[in-house]
Structure formats: structure tokens, C-alpha cells
């Protein structure tokens, strides 16, 4: 047991050295006991969920500010609409109280072409003014309705944010209790706390940055995938108004490695509905598992969803995966390949990505 503790302590020093010197992290160090690994995983989850709570708190403040601004803007629009409503009302009252008869009588009483033209100009000015007033009221009223709809959406979003914030706080408190309970009564508790602190520092200063760099590179490469398909027409089969795009994982590996050398030490494979990225570059071990789904909003495309993210043997929580999805778009958009084409279905099986397309 003491030997394992000292092994962990040595790992702490090595991690600290990585953070300070940017030297490769020793991913081939002697594996930690499973109990210690789970404890580190929970402590890292606590750190990441705390980061999510911070993000949600900022979003909460921002949404509250937007709601207050919307209410103030709507109050001003209510005044403007009231003015426009009064003007529009006067227009309607004048129409129903005899203006039409007045103009008709005036037309019938003209005695020359010049009088008729002057009367026509006057009628045109009045009608144009009336039309502007009615249009202004309609426009202001539409904006007011849109404002209230946006306010409703903001209030709904705020309620969801509050619920999410409360949920994450409960979640992180439970994890903190689990970690504290696991450390209680252990003779090596101080060493483990130091190990957790160093792991969190490494993740915050190096690990998260490196993971994001890989996601950024992958997102950049995916933007170029339509161009690659155009250069490899054999990947696209067409039949009438339907088409099928097939990309093997070997082709994807070659494509990605050609785009960025950091993928030389990583492999991609399609297996049982998942895209699996697995790699070890000497500084870190990363495994990403995810799936594609066809989505039509805001545009049609196949979007990638991270189902599992493992960093140096430690699985990150769903909040980290969601954060990466928000920041990096790993989707594929068929209309960038062929206009007026939409993805209908997507399958990942037997080393192949198969996307069925249709015109429409």
C-alpha cells in the first residue's frame, strides 16, 4: 500500500513538472489502484461541474439582464404603439364618418382639369399619409408582439437555467461528499488530496487546452470534408433523386492525418453506431466516443454528439462533453457538397460512415 502511495506521489511530481516545463506527461507510468483512479475521476468531475456552474451562473446573470432590458424596451414600445393606435383610429374614424363622401362630392364639383389635378394631388397626399399611419401602427404592433414573444422565451430560458443550476449544485455537493467520505480515515488522505490538486491543475493548464486543440483541429478538418468528397466522386452513389455517401474509417484517417499531423498518433474507426477516436501522443491518452444524428434545425446536417470522453484513463462528466459540443462543430452539411440536397439518415457500421441523401 505504501509503495502505491509513493508511486502516486512520484506521479504528482511528474505532473507538476509537465505543467511547468511542458514536458510530456508520463502516460505509461505504473497504473494507479482502481479505488484511487475512481477517486481522481470524481475529483476531476467535481472540478468540471464547478466550471459548468460558473458558466450557468454567468448565463443566469446575462439572461436576467436581457429580461430587464426587454421589459424596459417593451414599455417604450407600448407608448409608441399607443400613439400609433390613436393615429390609426383617427384615420379609420374619418373614413367611416364621411371622408369618402367628401372626396366624391369634391370630384363631382370640379370645373376644370387643373382643379381635378389639384384635387387628385390633395387626395394622394391624404391617402399616402393615412397609409403611412396605418403601416406605422401595424409595424409597431408587430414589433411589440415579437418583443413579448422574445420575453417569453427569455423567461423560459431563465427558468431552465435556474433548474439546471440547482441540479448541478446538488450533483457537485453529492460528489464532494463521496470524495470526502472516501478520504475520511485514510492514512494517505493528504497525499491523495495533493494528487487531486495537481491533477486538476494539470487538466486546467494543459489537459483541457490540448483536448480543445484536438477538437479545434477536427472541426477545421470537417469543414473541408465536402471538398474531399468532390475530389473522390467514388464515395458518392446517385440514383434518381437519391444518393448515398460512403466513407470508410481508413479514408477518414488518411484525410484527417493529411489535414493535421497531430492526428498521426490517433486512430478513428466506425463501429456499432459510434465514431471512436483513440490516441496516445506521449503527452496524453484520449478516447472519444460519439454518434451522428440527422438534424434539420437550424439547417439540415449530421451533427456529432460526444457520448464519452476519457483523458489519461479518467472519464470526464457530461458537462465537459456538452461544453465541447457547444464550442466546436464537428458536423457535416450535405448542402455544402451539393445544393438542394438533404441528409435523410446516417449509419455507422462495419468501418463505414453511410449517409443517405435526397433532393429536396
Residue 325 predicted with pLDDT over 60: yes
Whether residue 222 is found in the same domain as residue 348: yes
In this structure, is residue 204 part of a structural domain? Answer: no
At residue 12 the predicted structure's pLDDT band, cuts being 50, 70 and 90, is very low
In this structure, is residue 66 part of a structural domain? Answer: yes
In this structure, is residue 306 part of a structural domain? Answer: yes
pLDDT at 98: 52
Question: What is the tally of structural domains in the chain?
Answer: 2
**DSSP E strand stretches across the chain:** 236-239, 242-248, 266-271, 274-280, 285-295, 301-311, 314-315, 341-349, 352-359
Mean pLDDT of the chain: 81
**Which residues, including other chains, have CB under 8 Å from residue 121's CB and lie 6 or more apart?**
none
Whether residue 132 is found in the same domain as residue 238: no
Whether residue 323 is found in the same domain as residue 226: yes
Whether residue 213 is found in the same domain as residue 335: yes
How big is the chain, counted in residues? 360
C-alpha triplet 134, 138, 144: angle, nearest 5°: 145
Separation of alpha carbons 216 and 237, rounded Å: 30
Domain extent at residue 67: 53-171
pLDDT in tens, 145-184: 888 888 888 888 888 888 988 999 999 999 999 999 989 9
Other Cβ atoms closer than 10 A to 330: 21
pLDDT at 125: 59
- Three cell numbers, residue 72: 424596459
pLDDT in tens, 238-276: 888 899 999 999 999 999 999 999 899 999 999 889 999
In this structure, is residue 301 part of a structural domain? Answer: yes
pLDDT in tens, 182-226: 899 888 899 999 999 999 999 999 999 999 999 999 999 999 999
At residue 25 the predicted structure's pLDDT band, cuts being 50, 70 and 90, is very low
Mean pLDDT of 98-120: 55
pLDDT at 83: 67
C-alpha triplet 275, 281, 285: angle, nearest 5°: 60
Mean pLDDT of 74-81: 74
* Percentage of the chain exceeding pLDDT 70: 75
Q: Are 354 and 245 in contact (CB under 8 A)?
A: yes
In this structure, is residue 45 part of a structural domain? Answer: no
The CATH number of the domain where 83 resides is what? 1.10.287
pLDDT at 69: 85
pLDDT at 256: 93
In this structure, is residue 298 part of a structural domain? Answer: yes
Helix (H) or strand (E) holding 264: none
For the sheet containing 274-280, what is the strand order?
Answer: 266-271, 274-280, 285-295, 301-311, 314-315
pLDDT at 180: 92
Mean pLDDT of 63-73: 85
pLDDT at 72: 84
pLDDT at 225: 92
**What's the N-to-C CA distance of the chain in angstroms?**
65
pLDDT at 105: 56
Strand partners, 277: 268, 288
When mean pLDDT is compared over 44-58, 109-123, 124-138, the highest value belongs to: 44-58
pTM score above 0.85: no
Whether residue 84 is found in the same domain as residue 140: yes
Mean pLDDT of 16-36: 52
In this structure, is residue 122 part of a structural domain? Answer: yes
Amino acid at each position: 500500500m505504501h509503495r502505491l502511495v509513493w508511486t502516486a506521489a512520484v506521479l504528482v511530481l511528474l505532473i507538476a513538472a509537465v505543467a511547468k516545463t511542458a514536458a510530456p506527461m508520463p502516460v505509461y507510468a505504473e497504473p494507479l489502484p482502481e479505488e484511487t483512479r475512481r477517486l481522481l475521476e470524481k475529483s476531476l468531475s467535481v472540478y468540471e461541474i464547478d466550471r459548468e456552474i460558473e458558466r450557468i451562473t454567468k448565463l443566469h446573470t446575462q439572461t436576467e439582464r436581457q429580461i430587464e432590458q426587454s421589459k424596459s424596451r417593451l414599455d417604450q414600445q407600448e407608448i409608441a404603439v399607443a400613439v400609433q393606435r390613436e393615429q390609426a383610429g383617427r384615420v379609420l374614424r374619418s373614413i367611416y364618418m364621411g371622408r369618402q363622401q367628401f372626396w366624391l362630392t369634391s370630384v363631382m364639383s370640379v370645373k376644370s382639369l387643373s382643379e381635378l389635378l389639384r384635387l387628385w394631388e390633395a387626395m394622394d397626399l391624404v391617402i399616402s399619409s393615412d397609409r403611412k399611419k396605418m403601416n406605422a401602427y401595424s409595424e409597431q404592433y408587430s414589433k411589440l408582439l415579437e418583443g413579448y414573444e422574445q420575453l417569453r422565451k427569455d423567461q423560459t430560458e431563465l427558468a431552465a437555467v435556474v433548474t439546471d443550476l440547482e441540479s448541478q449544485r446538488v450533483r457537485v455537493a453529492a460528489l464532494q461528499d463521496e470524495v470526502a467520505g472516501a478520504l475520511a480515515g485514510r492514512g494517505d488522505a493528504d497525499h491523495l488530496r495533493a494528487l487531486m490538486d495537481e491533477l486538476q491543475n494539470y487538466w486546467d493548464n494543459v489537459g483541457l487546452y490540448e483536448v480543445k486543440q484536438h477538437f479545434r483541429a477536427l472541426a477545421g478538418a470537417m469543414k473541408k470534408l465536402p471538398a474531399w468528397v468532390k475530389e473522390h466522386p467514388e464515395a458518392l452513389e446517385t440514383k434518381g433523386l437519391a444518393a448515398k455517401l460512403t466513407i470508410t474509417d481508413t479514408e477518414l484517417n488518411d484525410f484527417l492525418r493529411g489535414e493535421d499531423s497531430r492526428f498521426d498518433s490517433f486512430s478513428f474507426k466506425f463501429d456499432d453506431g459510434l465514431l471512436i477516436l483513440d490516441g496516445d501522443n506521449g503527452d496524453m491518452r484520449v478516447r472519444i466516443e460519439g454518434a451522428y444524428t440527422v438534424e434539420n434545425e437550424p439547417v439540415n446536417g449530421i451533427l456529432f454528439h460526444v457520448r464519452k470522453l476519457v483523458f489519461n484513463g479518467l472519464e470526464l462528466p457530461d458537462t465537459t462533453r456538452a461544453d465541447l459540443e457547444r464550442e466546436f462543430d464537428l458536423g457535416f452539411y450535405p448542402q455544402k457538397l451539393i445544393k438542394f440536397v438533404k441528409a435523410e439518415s446516417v449509419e455507422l457500421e462495419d468501418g463505414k460512415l453511410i449517409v443517405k441523401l435526397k433532393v429536396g
